[in-house]
Amino acid sequence: MIKYLLQSLRLYLYQAWLSYHGRYSITSPFGYISSKLGFPFFLMLFFIFMGKFVGYTNPLYIVIGNVLLIPAAGSMSGVTNAIGDERSWGTLSYVLGSPAPRLPIFMGRSLFYILDGFVTAVLGFAIAAGIFHLDMATINFGMLLLCIFLLAITSSGLGFLFGSISLISRDGWIILNTFLSALYILVGVNFPVGSLPSALQTIAFGLPLTRGIMAARLVLAGAGWNAIRPLLAGEVLVGAIYILVGYLCFRLIEKRSLTSGTLDAI
């Protein structure tokens, strides 16, 4: 049992590193760091100008929302591509034709994208504080980091789901992009979820991110652990459900491919 767990852990970490390194190894360190700093900077600048143009009194609301979406979007698209690319690279037959346990292979696809998104969002908040005067004097940094980290993890569940879809459909990436656009409306990035029609609110609370973003906003407003605890618990639960559904979807597609022979066809 211990041997199996150790093997799974080793496989998980190596898989995680490989799927990340394999996708980013063409990027120079300069290109990587500048993208980590440049992306949140220009994103914030865009929303501040847009907020001012439309007469927003507090454009930082949408700035914060969009910075909080960075780890989620990174994790989601990273995991989707990490799984979907296996199909286009023709590696699936060899991975699935091995006796390796499936769960660490599957979960390993997310680790470095989660960390990557986390780092980008933290840098984003540093830029927001340093350049765009986001007041962070009274906030609990530990709780903010926890919220950001949790957002990256729970959103990977959506990545697993879309990644699995992209194993059977060339449209996985298109579906993800469409869904990402919907997230801008649904999860409280640019305006509070409470301002949505009730049907959309129901959908919003069925998604990862909604409660996590609410919790992060509360932390930024100076709230304590007791205020955010139920929101984080809900976020963990919803995220876990999506990860589980994504994994089941992956196994189902793997099983189906044994009959249809479509897994490696592009």
- Binding residues for other proteins, per CB under 8 A? 7, 10-11, 14-15, 18, 21-23, 25-26, 89-91, 93-100, 105, 258-261
The residue among 12 and 162 lying less far from other proteins, judged by its C-beta, is: 12
The nearest distance, CB 3 to other proteins, in angstroms, is 9
Q: How far apart are CA 197 and CA 128, in angstroms?
A: 31
The residue among 175 and 185 lying less far from other proteins, judged by its C-beta, is: 175
The nearest distance, CB 165 to other proteins, in angstroms, is 17
The residue among 89 and 191 lying less far from other proteins, judged by its C-beta, is: 89
Q: How far apart are CA 186 and CA 193, in angstroms?
A: 7
The residue among 22 and 38 lying less far from other proteins, judged by its C-beta, is: 22
Tokens of 105: 């292979």
CB of 208 closer than 8 Å to CB of 238? yes
CB of 166 closer than 8 Å to CB of 87? yes
The nearest distance, CB 127 to other proteins, in angstroms, is 30
Give the type of residue at 250: F
DSSP SS3 for 38:
helix
Sign of CA dihedral 75, 37, 24, 171: positive
The nearest distance, CB 255 to other proteins, in angstroms, is 9
Residue 186 to residues 18, 183, 197, 209, Cα–Cα distance (Å): 33, 5, 10, 10
The nearest distance, CB 100 to other proteins, in angstroms, is 4
The residue among 96 and 115 lying less far from other proteins, judged by its C-beta, is: 96
